[in-house]
Amino acid sequence: MKALVTGGTGFIGSHVVDALLDGGDEVCVFSRRAALPDRWRQRKVELVRGDLQDPDSLGEAMAGADLLYHVGEIRNTTRAAAEKNVRAFKEAVHQMKRRGLQRVVFVSSITAAGIPATVPATEETEARQTLEDHYTQYKSLCEEALAESASQLDYVVLRLPPVYGPRSRTLGRFLRIMKRIGPLGVPFIGDGRNLAPLVHVKDAAEAICRAGTASAALQQTLHITDGVRHSWFDFLSAVAEALGKRLRIITVSPLLLRFPAGLLDLGSVIFGVRADLTDYVHFFSRDIHFDNTKARERLGWEPAYTELRPAVREMVRHYREAA
């Protein structure tokens, strides 16, 4: 099978490419980069240069591909960027129909499920509160576009929570900050003891790959989490331990943050950046836990990284070696 991967040189996408190659697939990486990373030089990886904002370049990359893994996106912080992402995805769907490419796996966000009314939440659980930031809205609109194309395309939507593991520039910066301020105190909404949805990048990549071939997953939206009842404090403690540092949480009351968050939301709308900070105060201060039974059953998938401390130790070791 030949798979076309957008965002294949990024954090999650690079692990998807690795998993596809390990499974014996040929991979075409759609990227603005001029050269492949060294680790793929001797493997069955083709680089096709293009830009998500250039639909013809993506359409040309689809030639000979059996399915599309849509992991990539335009950096998304403003309303304009979100609209570009939606347009780019709708153009990708149009190019698929035009060129006869039948199946797409779309990587969405767990924030599209909102703050669930009950936990553990399933894919059918109603949201107590929806999130209205630009990033979540863009993901939701892409999900809607796929649902509208259900009669013409085979699709799978995978909603990912915060993803941790190697090769993320953002996590690399986070670890450097934690190393400096962990013992002094990490400000957090509440005490951090509330349940947090997480998944290791290698588990996420395995689920994404399986979604490309699992017939039981067709036309489904699945939540890809490790399914473990751990908290933000558990994760931060594991990071501090792996760094050899003490952790001190500076508790910030959600009530104290709601008013300034509301003001920031108002200001962000004026400047074209919809952060929806008020709702994210709720998101990070309440129990958020998603059951992954449907994903395990539909994909034949089991997360391997369910023990947080050894997984985080491995992650920290990677960033130390990379530095």
Domains of the chain: 2-164+198-226+289-304 (3.40.50.720)
Q: What is the chain's mean pLDDT, rounded?
A: 89
CB atoms within 10 A of CB 107: 27
pLDDT of residue 316: 97
281 vs 263: CA distance, rounded Å: 13
Give 68: exposed, middle or buried? Use CB within 10 Å, 0-12, 13-18, 19+: buried
16 vs 210: CA distance, rounded Å: 10
Q: Which of 259, 273, 288 is nearest to 111 (CA)?
A: 288
Residues 33-78: tens digit of each pLDDT: 888 888 998 898 999 999 999 999 999 999 999 999 999 998 766 7
Whether cis (ω within 30° of 0) applies to the bond prior to 260 is no
Measure the CA angle with vertex 209, ends 204 and 213; round to 5°. Answer: 140
Amino acid at 257: L
Contact 63, 11 (CB under 8 A): no
- How would you classify the pairing of strands 45-49 and 26-31? parallel
pLDDT of residue 134: 85
Residues 207-266: tens digit of each pLDDT: 999 999 999 999 999 999 999 999 999 999 999 999 999 888 887 766 544 434 333 333
Return the residue matching tokens 């473990």: 228
Q: Which residues contact 143 (CB under 8 A, 6 or more apart)?
A: 106, 108, 112, 157, 221
Q: Above pLDDT 90, what percent of the chain?
A: 73
Range from 11-25, 99-113, 153-167, 177-191 carrying the lowest mean pLDDT: 177-191
Whether the model clears a pTM of 0.75, i.e. scores above it, the answer is yes
Segment 128-133 shows an average pLDDT of 87
Q: Which of 179, 218, 225 is nearest to 200 (CA)?
A: 225
Say whether pLDDT at 91 is over 50.
Answer: yes
